[in-house]
Structure 1
Amino acid sequence: MRTEDVLAAIATGLWRWDNASGTVTLDGEAARLLGLPAEPAVLPEVAVRSRFHPVDWNEINGIVNLAVAENTLAEARLRIMDEDGRVLRTVRSRSKALESRAEGGRVDYELIGTIQEIAEPQPGTTAAHTPITGDWRRSREAFLLDAGRALAEARSTSEVLRVAASLSMPGFSPDGLAVFGVDGDRLSVIGHHGHGPGDEGPFTEMRLETDYPAAEAVRTGRAIYLPTPDDYKRRFPATWPLAQRFDRTSWAFLPLIVAGRTMGAWMAAFKHPVSFSPDERSVLTTVARMLAQALQRAGVAESERELTTGLQRSMMPQLGPEIPGMTIAARYVPTGGGLQVGGDWYDMIPLPSGRFALVIGDVQGHDVRAAGLMGQLRIAVRAYASEGHRPDAVLSRASRFLAGLCSSPGPGSDAEPYDDADFHSPRFATCLYVECDPKTGVLEVARAGHPDPVVRMTDGTVLMRSTAGGLPLGIVPDTDYPTTRFALEPGETLMLCTDGLIETGGHDLDTGWARLRAVLESDPWPSAGPGSAGGEPGGPEAGHLEKLADLLVQAVHGPSSHHTTGPLADRREDDIAVVLLCRESEYCGCGTPVGHPARPSRRTMLTVAQAEPERISGARRQVRELLHDWADADQVDSAVLMVSEMVTNVLVHTDGDALLVAEAVGELGERRLRVEVADASDELPHKRRPGEMASSGRGVLLMEMLADTWGVDPRGEGKSIWFELYERSKPDPGAPH
């Protein structure tokens, strides 16, 4: 008797479904079961597909794909429809799926198997496979969406493992999970859940040749399902004792495959029996695929973070050695996203004169080239400074160096330029160079398009020190950079920063400075020193400057460390570099600060050159910031007006520069403001009587009207014009005169 006759006798047909050619070959019994004439036929795929219930077709499609992936039988129940859309019968299909690759890399398959008529399923069940409710299917879809979202958001291996441990699968949640990696010819346990400490010991460093399900899943790239302990014991007798002590009932071991490469295996173990139906295997396979992709992304991201963090740390200097009388703290935080590299940097350079230099700069861009240029520019600045050049000469040479660096050809000859046009584009850099004398506190500042430095005084007042400056480095090779000199008093702190600290979060220069000023002014300033009990005025206690640096960074984007990586990094808009320099108080043997006046004071000094009349506005701002807490706002306006008039007169009536010195001394509410403007001219001011339409000649009249006292002091070379104001509360308009 022929095989076809036997199969026909038990209502079983044969079919061959060729996905590549789009044809289905049926024997006579298979054609009859599909509602077609009972004779062998070769039909187009669409003609056979039209006989299946649409819902069942969607189910069989997923089951076939799963069978192809696992190299197992594709089993399904299918409802056969007639031409009027009525259900004729229900059949069971059992087919072997053979995978093949067509031209262009497309994956095709061929199904060879049987179909057999069976009894109609009970109401409320699907016909595709074992009874599963629609609620379960909706729960499965929701679970896979949530799992995919959570795994896609995981940024590190530990986060991926934490998400995997929290997955609660619909209807069959595992109580034990393990993720295995491959290290050479051995398995390694990357992470596990539902086990005690040390339980992973026997499974770590296990050779891939071991008769263990995870090792076989890695070797073959195919999933292994063990529904019962007997199945485990029968298939893997050598390692069954290792699994027996965990008292589990069912196990699934799935390979973690990405781009055709098996990178490990995932184990899901169950206390309750699991039959691993096609639906359950489909869920596990999908989770394993998402888990593998998440682990690969996390591994790549961690490697990139390690690489870029190492690169940036190698480029960032160590602050040291310690400088007597000075305390320094610094922070660098790279930009978020991408490779997290950028062009911000800082440096501290010992100088041949015994002084030291602080440098902070920002190369245009947040990419690898910006980081590379930053490293080269930092080395060049350090070399020029170490040769003993003055601040202006250091920046001039650095500008020529950067201009030549950006205009040079690519790594090859002229015939081998960079492929990326961006590598030909010129780049510039801003920079602030400060030469410091630790004995006197004198600072000489040269600035190339960089934000001005900020000084926090001993009483908490914060001033932006207006300094002379030139173009950013690299724009014009031969550029002059004038220097500005001022002194850092004992207990005062200098802050240098890049614009990332100021403008991040949608701020401009004004609102960004206001945000940082609030941090600097509100920060408690504990003092300490030899013999100090903590109550004397002076500099910060040990470690406080580090805390202040952290507070400034946190004000922009939350908590950080010296170098921040991880999810926080992705929220940053720009690199951040900040350097703090505090001049410590000097103490005598009795513990009293040396050099401090009996009453607290605040002081600022500014030079306005003939060629820079625009700096008069900076002088006005300096005075207004110095008097930010002055009791009478009208007196502040008077002081600003007199300063503007005095400085303008020097620029108009002399050939030299104006040196402004302003100092407020005394207790709050009882202070004295003294402002001096010195110049090199011997000509003394004299009172004039300007007409109503005159544009000048009112300087002396304003001094007489607004100042409490004023005067002119001749000097050996030039003179000094000064005025004083005594702080008073604003008069009560209702008080009797």
Structure 2
Amino acid sequence: MVSAGLPTTSGDSTPDWLEPAMAANGIGSFDWDIRRDVLEGDHRACAIIGLEKGRFDSSSASFLSLLHPEDAPVVRRRVERAVAELGQCGAYYRTVGPNGSMRAVRFRGRVLADAFGRASRMVGFVWDATVELHKRDRADRMALLREERSRFIKEAARALSEAVTVRDVARVFTELPLPGLPPDGLVLAAQEAGRVQILGASGYRPDEMAVYDRSLLPAGHPAAEAIRLRAPVFIASREEYRERYPETWGPVSGSSRSAWAFLPLVASGRPIGVCLVSFDDDRELDADERTLLSTLGGLVAQSLARARLHDAEHELAAGLQRVMLPRTVPSIPGVSTAVRYLAAGSGLQIGGDWYDVVPLPGGHVGLVIGDVQGHDVHAAGIMGQLRIALRAYAAEGHPPAAVMARASRFLADLDTDHFATCTYAEVNVDYGVVYAVRAGHLDPVVRRADGSTAVQPVAGGLPLGIAPDEEYRVTRFSLDPGETVLLCTDGLVESRTMDLDTGFSRLCHVLSGEIPARGESARDPLEDLADRVASQSADSSEREDDIALLLLRWDGPEGGLAAQQLRR
């Protein structure tokens, strides 16, 4: 087709320079007869638009069918507006070839009117914009990747901030989905006294990690360099690794990795470990990717430092609590006991709650449950002194009231400004008689042989340490063989969301549930009952107070005498 109807510079002829200029710039021309709906173009326009015989019947509808589904409505609207206004229009659109290939085209056209002022033809130019399409696609991909990386950093920061222990940090790091950087392996290692400890790994076999775990890093290792210089070390290929670090290439040469990133973990100006990100192909990381990995290393370092401090505090608290509480509960013929201690969910996780089981002269047994005011190391220290003193008074054979009075004077003499609540019960193993004394503490709960459970009222006195001359009254009650008495601290039955009456009601309901008979399993049913009671407490993350729990079941004297004979 010749460029009929195109604007001319002078007169009615086409200038001689127009065709060479259009050819040099890859510009084609088109002519659309609006009334007959016939679209024609020169050979360049046909090649650019894709007006091939068999796919195109010269109609506007056939032309629009060649366009990308998202672009066809836009082109249609703009052309219709130009026809209605006898004006110009232009658009950027994509065409889809028979094999699914995509090209981009730009066009500019003007609507010409006939002698009566009606739209007659549209003439214009088209040119290939595929390079622009690729640039725009690349820009879109980069924008999407930057958005993904920004979202990844936010999600990683959130996940690492929620990681409490070192194990949590290692799990979060080794499960991170790096955007645009699918790694072949991830390793998190801590450094202590020049040795590395592998905290977590993914993509590596255990035997590969065993070589480095708790070993000294060679000075020529890239991880050692990253730690020493406190700067990331990036290795793009196996050849680069072999040239830069020949001393440590041997163990690495047999692996399938081809690129590595060693990220130092620096917290408070001190290196505490290193992260390894490895790839199974050569990878020359660009500036954005290196910035992403460096930022990730900083987040992991802060989270790891915080988690190590938490673990150290937890281990200190747990060790101190183990020292303060009895290491074992003595086995006494005629009774079975079970104890539990649950730390609070916040703070140092150590407090003044304690329990004790004391063998007494004559084969009897003393039960102690108590709570020193406060939830700190000071309270725990007072608890340890008070527990030892009360145990000594009971083991000397003093009656329950005297044991409690002496313990109160002892605490007052310490002059600590702390008080303690306590319940002490002496159990006559021969007859199942319990002599209980209470100093501002909770009443015991008794589970009877028929499964019913009720709070056992015990006469109360002032907490220990408040009135040194306080005299405590003794309450006597008895147990039948198989019946259980429970002593606990207030963390089990009271919280900000649960009052004392509700807590005791729930505790009685849990205790009264059916338990396996003795001999049905290798484990004592009393242990199962203790687990069931402890599981009803608040979740450790929500627990506001320590919980000490002591259960004693009277099995009856040796020889199996019936309860009726014992009564007589």
Could you say which TM-score interval applies, normalised by the shorter chain?
A: 0.7 to 0.9
Q: Is the CA contact 2:335–2:553 (under 8 Å) kept in the aligned structure 1?
A: yes
Task: After TM superposition, list the pairs within 5 Å mapping 1:485-634 onto structure 2.
Answer: 485-504=476-495, 506-528=497-519, 543-557=524-538, 569-585=540-556, 594-596=561-563
Choose which of 239, 252, 272 in structure 1 pairs with 2:281.
272
Question: Unpaired runs of 5+ in structure 2?
Answer: 1-131
What code does the residue aligned with 2:350 have? V
Residue 510 of structure 1: how far off its partner (Å): 1.1
Residues 161 and 393 (structure 1), Cα distance of their counterparts in 2 relative to 1, 3 Å cut:
same
Match of 2:441 in 1: 450
Paired with 2:141 and 2:250, the residues of 1 have a C-alpha distance of 34
SS of 2:330's equivalent in the other structure is: coil
Choose which of 228, 240, 249 in structure 2 pairs with 1:231.
240
Paired with 1:225 and 1:503, the residues of 2 have a C-alpha distance of 56
Match of 1:139 in 2: 148
Q: Is the CA contact 1:208–1:216 (under 8 Å) kept in the aligned structure 2?
A: no
Paired with 2:327 and 2:267, the residues of 1 have a C-alpha distance of 41
What code does the residue aligned with 1:553 have? A
Q: Is the CA contact 2:333–2:557 (under 8 Å) kept in the aligned structure 1?
A: no
Paired with 2:230 and 2:379, the residues of 1 have a C-alpha distance of 43
Task: After TM superposition, list the pairs within 5 Å mapping 1:338-357 onto structure 2.
Answer: 338-357=347-366
Q: Is the CA contact 1:504–1:556 (under 8 Å) kept in the aligned structure 2?
A: no
Residues 432 and 187 (structure 1), Cα distance of their counterparts in 2 relative to 1, 3 Å cut:
closer
Match of 1:375 in 2: 384
Q: Deviations over 1:53-109 (max 9, x none)?
A: xxxxxxxxxxxxxxxxxxxxxxxxxxxxxxxxxxxxxxxxxxxxxxxxxxxxxxxxx
What code does the residue aligned with 2:211 have? P
Residues 525 and 226 (structure 1), Cα distance of their counterparts in 2 relative to 1, 3 Å cut:
closer
What code does the residue aligned with 1:478 have? D
Paired with 2:242 and 2:468, the residues of 1 have a C-alpha distance of 79
Choose which of 172, 191, 196 in structure 2 pairs with 1:163.
172
Q: Deviations over 1:715-734 (max 9, x none)?
A: xxxxxxxxxxxxxxxxxxxx
Paired with 1:268 and 1:355, the residues of 2 have a C-alpha distance of 64
Residues 541 and 405 (structure 1), Cα distance of their counterparts in 2 relative to 1, 3 Å cut:
same
Residue 504 of structure 1: how far off its partner (Å): 3.7
The yes-or-no answer on 1:437 pairing with 2:428 is yes
Count of matched residue pairs: 435
Residue 356 of structure 1: how far off its partner (Å): 2.1
Residues 391 and 342 (structure 1), Cα distance of their counterparts in 2 relative to 1, 3 Å cut:
same
What code does the residue aligned with 1:582 have? R
Paired with 1:327 and 1:204, the residues of 2 have a C-alpha distance of 45
Bigger shift: residues 165-174 or 503-512: 503-512
SS of 1:556's equivalent in the other structure is: coil
Residue 179 of structure 1: how far off its partner (Å): 2.2
Q: Deviations over 1:653-707 (max 9, x none)?
A: xxxxxxxxxxxxxxxxxxxxxxxxxxxxxxxxxxxxxxxxxxxxxxxxxxxxxxx
What code does the residue aligned with 2:531 have? D
Residue 278 of structure 1: how far off its partner (Å): 1.3
Q: Deviations over 1:367-419 (max 9, x none)?
A: 11111111111111112222322111111121122222235xxxxxxxxxxxx
SS of 1:256's equivalent in the other structure is: strand
Paired with 2:554 and 2:263, the residues of 1 have a C-alpha distance of 63
Task: After TM superposition, list the pairs within 5 Å mapping 1:479-490 onto structure 2.
Answer: 479-490=470-481
SS of 1:570's equivalent in the other structure is: coil
Q: Percent identity?
A: 45
Residues 541 and 495 (structure 1), Cα distance of their counterparts in 2 relative to 1, 3 Å cut:
farther
Residues 359 and 436 (structure 1), Cα distance of their counterparts in 2 relative to 1, 3 Å cut:
same
Residue 505 of structure 1: how far off its partner (Å): 6.5
Residue 337 of structure 1: how far off its partner (Å): 1.0
Tell me the TM-score normalized by structure 2.
0.72
Q: Cα RMSD (Å) of the superposition?
A: 2.5
Paired with 2:211 and 2:477, the residues of 1 have a C-alpha distance of 69
Paired with 1:164 and 1:146, the residues of 2 have a C-alpha distance of 12
Q: Is the CA contact 2:437–2:460 (under 8 Å) kept in the aligned structure 1?
A: yes
Paired with 2:518 and 2:137, the residues of 1 have a C-alpha distance of 78
Match of 2:373 in 1: 364
Residues 318 and 253 (structure 1), Cα distance of their counterparts in 2 relative to 1, 3 Å cut:
closer
Paired with 1:306 and 1:257, the residues of 2 have a C-alpha distance of 24
Residues 406 and 214 (structure 1), Cα distance of their counterparts in 2 relative to 1, 3 Å cut:
same
Paired with 2:443 and 2:200, the residues of 1 have a C-alpha distance of 50
Paired with 1:586 and 1:402, the residues of 2 have a C-alpha distance of 36
Paired with 2:227 and 2:523, the residues of 1 have a C-alpha distance of 55
Paired with 1:198 and 1:146, the residues of 2 have a C-alpha distance of 32
Residue 586 of structure 1: how far off its partner (Å): 5.9
Paired with 1:295 and 1:498, the residues of 2 have a C-alpha distance of 35
Paired with 1:382 and 1:208, the residues of 2 have a C-alpha distance of 52
Question: Unpaired runs of 5+ in structure 1?
Answer: 1-119, 408-425, 529-533, 535-539, 558-567, 604-737
The yes-or-no answer on 1:331 pairing with 2:322 is no
What code does the residue aligned with 1:547 have? D
SS of 1:149's equivalent in the other structure is: helix
Paired with 1:461 and 1:445, the residues of 2 have a C-alpha distance of 21
Residues 320 and 226 (structure 1), Cα distance of their counterparts in 2 relative to 1, 3 Å cut:
closer
Tell me the TM-score normalized by structure 1.
0.56
